[in-house]
């Protein structure tokens, strides 16, 4: 509501960052802060006197690289208010959020590391927001489910006094695709369809997995998201390694060396996955990779579950995410949010929508 | 961000209003504006000198009743900024929003009438917001789907530059309950189950319908919600009567007199509804009451549709709403929001969450 000018720094220009810059350039002027800093890996572009620069100038490179500490000073020196958009998944940048916030610099980010790392970092971030008395804010919608309204909905439920009893769902687009292909809810479920290793191979070739599929199969991405949701629901979760997470990397292949070596040996374990599928089929169910937070019992877990056919989780398609919030107000039928939970454009959408909210609050 | 004090007026203390006041009383002081006006039907409570009053004082009544115009003057005279929460479904109050907004008074409401009435009123409301240059804002999450994040999600999609191509879903808890009971997706679909009139009777007795079920069966409630969504998606819809809405009140009973008379004669038309159900069953489908906006073609419609089993709409349970947003970024699989779309507590939740956002922007 005050009329001070807003300045924007953007760190990270990968898939999400590129889509974000494109969305940013299409915002009306009144919602678009002045871009004064842009960095990608070892390239940085900024102006000493806080003039506007255009993202199209990114090709040019500066001779002097700013450290995160330099960047904090640079941004706290603007004649108005500064906002940092962090489109990296970098832990060092995440670790610096409390410093940015304490200097009155707001943070908007899809970076999971900041909110799923140590509980100390989480506490530092939100204490800094609290202490700023409304000057600095942090928004991170895209840290779970990309642009799907997951974080904002959970925050609204809690802020308005509802009691969240349970959060449950499919939180990885990759896992969703793998299991929807491996054990589709429509098929009879036994003996037919592609083998597990074949489906992982297809997914890898189509670019649906990380370059090394073990980075999806270890479940840590899902565990990080559950850590964030559990904390927002009020649980003091130490981190993604403080609760049971079922890895789909066979023990024997944990140190299999290269990604190629891993993929080559994966067929040896097709029988094990087929076993889960058959077991589920015998119970009239399908196997899915599910994350859940039991708020009352204080329990978080991630792993394979046998899911009743006809339920929303069993009926998921493609690589969609699905998140169910069970609360006191909503009763037996949860509030459900479903849709693409990964991809540059939809992740950037969450970042851009967050930026708009920060601008509306700061201007 | 400025530190001026915030003042709150609440109009309407029915089911939603009572739940809202309870949620309001549990907000932290920093998010709770000073309550200075409270009205219910012909009772009003306010203080001339903008002192705090407690909702528990509602029993006392004032001798002098303020008109809407008086209330506008009263609220624009506060020494800080004023917010009006309208928990009525009153058209007169809705018609006054532009006057409130032009005086810098923000509006938070679940009142559908304001956004689904004449296109002129819609334009007046949002022009007033625009012209206030950030001083006055309007939030109306609960005007569609109660506390489900429907309005905010659609606004975020549009604001970040996505192209919404189609909106489709079940927008009435009553219609959802009636059809999920009449033609459950799990049953074979023909010849069995309760008759349509029996299900309407049960729903009426359980309080799931309006006192006169014709107020649900005429489809106007759904048409109002579709009007709001279509306008937010960019269509210039004249109003809920400007597109095809299929009424489930048989022509012969439109002027059947009392609600009792209507209910008594409803069984005469069970055959017609059974016909729809059987037709759907022959195609392997189920009949549902669906609303849709085809943004590209500029077409809105509301009525019975034959829906494929296994789809989210066919699989709905209880009285849940379900809203699908098809957009360019989300591609073939829509962004889906599902859950209770009616009820005092969840409707009030949307109002309270909106109020928090307004307070965060104004303070």
* B353, containing H or E segment: helix B344-362
pLDDT digits (tens, 9 = 90+) for B101-122: 999 999 999 999 999 999 999 9
- Can you give the residue range of the structural domain that contains A349? 6-144+345-362
With contact defined as beta carbons under 8 Å apart, do B326 and B70 qualify?
Answer: no
Give the integer Cα–Cα distance in Å for B155 and B149. 10
A-chain CB neighbours of B139 within 8 Å are none
**β-strand partners of A6:** A81
Clarify whether residues A126 and A35 are in a common domain.
yes
Q: Calculate the CA dihedral of residues B98, B104, B109, B114 and round it to 10 degrees.
A: 10
- Domain assignment present for residue B314? The answer is yes
Q: List helix spans (H) across B164-303.
A: 173-182, 196-205, 214-217, 220-232, 259-265, 270-282
With contact defined as beta carbons under 8 Å apart, do A100 and A92 qualify?
Answer: no
Please tell me if residue B133 touches chain A, with a CB cutoff of 8 Å: no
Q: Calculate the CA dihedral of residues A66, A71, A76, A78 and round it to 10 degrees.
A: 60
Q: Report CA Rg, chain A.
A: 22
What count of other Cβ atoms lies within 10 Å of the Cβ of residue A64?
7
Q: Cα-flanking dihedrals φ and ψ of residue A182, to 5°?
A: -70, -40
With contact defined as beta carbons under 8 Å apart, do A86 and A109 qualify?
Answer: yes
Best residue of A110, A334, A339 to probe chain B, by most B CBs closer than 10 Å: A339
Which of A160, A255, A165, A173 minimizes the C-alpha distance to A206? A173
Clarify whether residues A105 and A19 are in a common domain.
yes
Which of A149, A310, A346 is closest, CB to CB, to B329? A346
pLDDT for the residue numbered B350:
98
Q: Do B149 and A156 touch (CB under 8 A)?
A: yes
Please tell me if residue B162 touches chain A, with a CB cutoff of 8 Å: yes
Q: Strand A335-340 to strand B164-170: parallel, antiparallel, or no bridges (unpaired)?
A: unpaired
Q: Do B356 and A318 touch (CB under 8 A)?
A: no
- Domain assignment present for residue A1? The answer is no
Clarify whether residues A196 and A319 are in a common domain.
yes
- The SS3 assignment for A141 reads helix
Clarify whether residues B161 and B140 are in a common domain.
no
Is the pLDDT at B139 greater than 90? The verdict is yes
Number of domains present in the structure of chain A: 2
Give the integer Cα–Cα distance in Å for A323 and B86. 31
DSSP code at position A54 = -
Please tell me if residue A146 touches chain B, with a CB cutoff of 8 Å: no
- Domain assignment present for residue A260? The answer is yes
Task: Tell me the pLDDT band of B61, cut-offs 50, 70 and 90.
Answer: low
Q: Do B312 and A317 touch (CB under 8 A)?
A: no
- Domain assignment present for residue A114? The answer is yes
* The pair of three-digit structure tokens given for residue A276, joined into one six-digit string: 């889960």
pLDDT for the residue numbered B45:
83
- Domain CATH number, residue A116: 3.40.50.720
DSSP code at position A245 = B
Clarify whether residues B349 and B336 are in a common domain.
no
Please tell me if residue B26 touches chain A, with a CB cutoff of 8 Å: yes
Q: Residues of A comprising the binding site for L-homoserine? A: 210
Which of B161, B332, B356 is closest, CB to CB, to A159? B356
Clarify whether residues B174 and B302 are in a common domain.
yes
pLDDT for the residue numbered A60:
56
Residues 6 or more apart in contact with residue B338 via CB below 8 angstroms: A312, A335, A336, A337, A338, B148, B312, B316, B320, B321, B322, B323
Residues 6 or more apart in contact with residue B196 via CB below 8 angstroms: B182, B266, B269, B270, B273, B274
pLDDT digits (tens, 9 = 90+) for B11-27: 999 999 999 999 999 99
Residues 318-337 of chain A whose Cβ lies under 8 A from any Cβ of chain B: 318, 320, 329-337
Average pLDDT over residues B208-224: 94
* A137, containing H or E segment: none
Q: Do B149 and A161 touch (CB under 8 A)?
A: no
Residues 6 or more apart in contact with residue A298 via CB below 8 angstroms: A235
Which of A93, A86, A45 minimizes the C-alpha distance to A69? A93
Q: List helix spans (H) across chain A.
A: 15-25, 68-76, 91-95, 97-102, 113-116, 119-131, 151-159, 173-182, 196-205, 214-217, 220-232, 259-265, 270-282, 344-362
Please tell me if residue B28 touches chain A, with a CB cutoff of 8 Å: no
A-chain CB neighbours of B338 within 8 Å are 312, 335-338
Which of A149, A161, A352 is closest, CB to CB, to B149? A149
pLDDT digits (tens, 9 = 90+) for B153-203: 999 999 999 999 999 999 999 999 999 999 998 775 555 789 999 999 999
Clarify whether residues B308 and B199 are in a common domain.
yes
With contact defined as beta carbons under 8 Å apart, do A39 and A22 qualify?
Answer: no
The whole-angstrom distance between A149's CA and the closest CA on chain B is 7
Please tell me if residue B59 touches chain A, with a CB cutoff of 8 Å: no
Residues 6 or more apart in contact with residue A208 via CB below 8 angstroms: A173, A174, A177, A319
- Could you give the angle at the alpha carbon of A149 between the alpha carbons of A138 and B139, nearest 5°? 85
**For the whole model, what pTM was predicted?**
0.95
Clarify whether residues A181 and A44 are in a common domain.
no
What is the ipTM for the molecules in this complex? 0.94
With contact defined as beta carbons under 8 Å apart, do B7 and B81 qualify?
Answer: yes
A104-121: b (≥16 Cβ within 10 Å) or e: bbbbbbbbbbbbbbeeeb
CA torsion through residues A227, A232, A235, A237, sign: positive
- Domain assignment present for residue B1? The answer is no
Q: Do B156 and A135 touch (CB under 8 A)?
A: no
Q: Residues of A comprising the binding site for NADPH? A: 88, 112
pLDDT for the residue numbered A1:
42
Which of B41, B120, B38 minimizes the C-alpha distance to B71? B38
Residues 6 or more apart in contact with residue A305 via CB below 8 angstroms: A287, A288, A289, A290
- Domain assignment present for residue B15? The answer is yes
DSSP code at position A290 = E
CA torsion through residues A22, A27, A29, A34, sign: negative
Question: Is B225 part of the annotated catalytic residue set?
Answer: yes
> Chain A: residue nearest B317 by CA?
A333
- Domain CATH number, residue B242: 3.30.360.10
Clarify whether residues B264 and B310 are in a common domain.
yes
Q: Cα-flanking dihedrals φ and ψ of residue A287, to 5°?
A: -90, 135
% chain B with pLDDT above 90: 81
Clarify whether residues B44 and B156 are in a common domain.
no
- Domain assignment present for residue B272? The answer is yes
Give the integer Cα–Cα distance in Å for B275 and B278. 5
- The SS3 assignment for A286 reads strand
Active-site option among A81, A113, A204, A225: A225
Clarify whether residues B352 and B320 are in a common domain.
no
Mean pLDDT over all residues of chain B? 92
Q: Residues of A comprising the binding site for NADP(+)? A: 12-17
Q: Report CA Rg, chain B.
A: 22
Clarify whether residues B324 and B358 are in a common domain.
no
pLDDT for the residue numbered A63:
63
B109 is in an annotated binding site: no
Average pLDDT over residues B91-105: 97
Residues 6 or more apart in contact with residue A267 via CB below 8 angstroms: A195, A197
Q: Do A338 and B338 touch (CB under 8 A)?
A: yes
Across the beta sheet with B34-40, what order do the strands follow?
B43-46, B34-40, B6-11, B81-86, B106-108, B138-139
pLDDT digits (tens, 9 = 90+) for B292-339: 999 999 999 999 999 998 788 998 988 999 999 999 999 999 999 999
Which of B351, B354, B348, B347 minimizes the C-alpha distance to B321? B347
B150-179: b (≥16 Cβ within 10 Å) or e: bbbbbebbebbbbebbbbbbbbbbbbbbbb
pLDDT for the residue numbered B133:
84
Q: What is the mean pLDDT of each run of 10 residues along chain A (363 residues)?
A: 80 94 96 92 78 62 79 95 97 97 98 96 98 93 97 98 98 96 76 88 90 94 98 97 96 85 93 95 95 98 94 89 97 95 95 98 92
B-chain CB neighbours of A159 within 8 Å are 27, 31, 352-353, 356
């Amino acid at each position: 509501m005050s009329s001070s000018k807003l300045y924007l720094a953007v760190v990270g220009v990968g898939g999400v960052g590129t889509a974000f810059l494109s969305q940013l350039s299409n915002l009306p002027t009144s919602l678009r802060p002045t871009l004064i800093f842009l960095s990608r890996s070892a390239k940085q572009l900024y102006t000493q006197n806080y003039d506007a620069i255009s993202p199209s100038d990114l090709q040019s490179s500066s001779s002097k690289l700013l450290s995160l500490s330099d960047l904090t000073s640079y941004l706290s020196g603007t004649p108005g208010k500064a906002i940092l958009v962090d489109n990296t998944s970098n832990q060092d940048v995440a670790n610096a959020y409390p410093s940015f916030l304490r200097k009155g610099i707001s943070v908007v980010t899809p970076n999971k590391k900041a909110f799923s790392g140590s509980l100390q970092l989480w506490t530092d971030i939100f204490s800094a927001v609290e202490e700023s008395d409304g000057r600095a804010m942090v928004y991170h919608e895209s840290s779970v489910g990309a642009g799907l309204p997951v974080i904002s909905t959970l925050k609204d439920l809690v802020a308005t006094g509802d009691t969240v009893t349970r959060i449950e769902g499919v939180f990885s687009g990759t896992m969703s695709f793998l299991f929807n292909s491996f054990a589709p809810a429509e098929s009879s479920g036994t003996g037919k369809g592609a083998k597990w290793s074949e489906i992982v191979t297809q997914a890898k070739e189509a670019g649906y997995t990380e370059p090394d599929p073990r980075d999806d199969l270890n479940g840590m991405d899902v565990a990080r998201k559950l850590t964030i949701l559990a904390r927002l629901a009020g649980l003091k979760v130490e981190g993604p390694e403080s609760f049971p997470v079922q890895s789909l990397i066979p023990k024997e292949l944990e140190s299999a060396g290269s990604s190629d070596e891993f993929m080559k040996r994966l067929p040896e374990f097709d029988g094990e996955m087929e076993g889960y599928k058959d077991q589920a089929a015998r119970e009239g169910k399908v196997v899915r990779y599910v994350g859940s937070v039991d708020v009352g019992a204080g329990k978080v877990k991630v792993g394979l579950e046998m899911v009743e056919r006809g339920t929303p989780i069993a009926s998921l398609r493609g690589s969609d995410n699905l998140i169910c919030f069970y609360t006191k107000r909503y009763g037996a039928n949860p509030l459900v949010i479903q849709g693409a939970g990964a991809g540059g454009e939809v992740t950037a959408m969450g970042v851009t929508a967050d930026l708009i909210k920060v601008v509306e609050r700061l201007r």
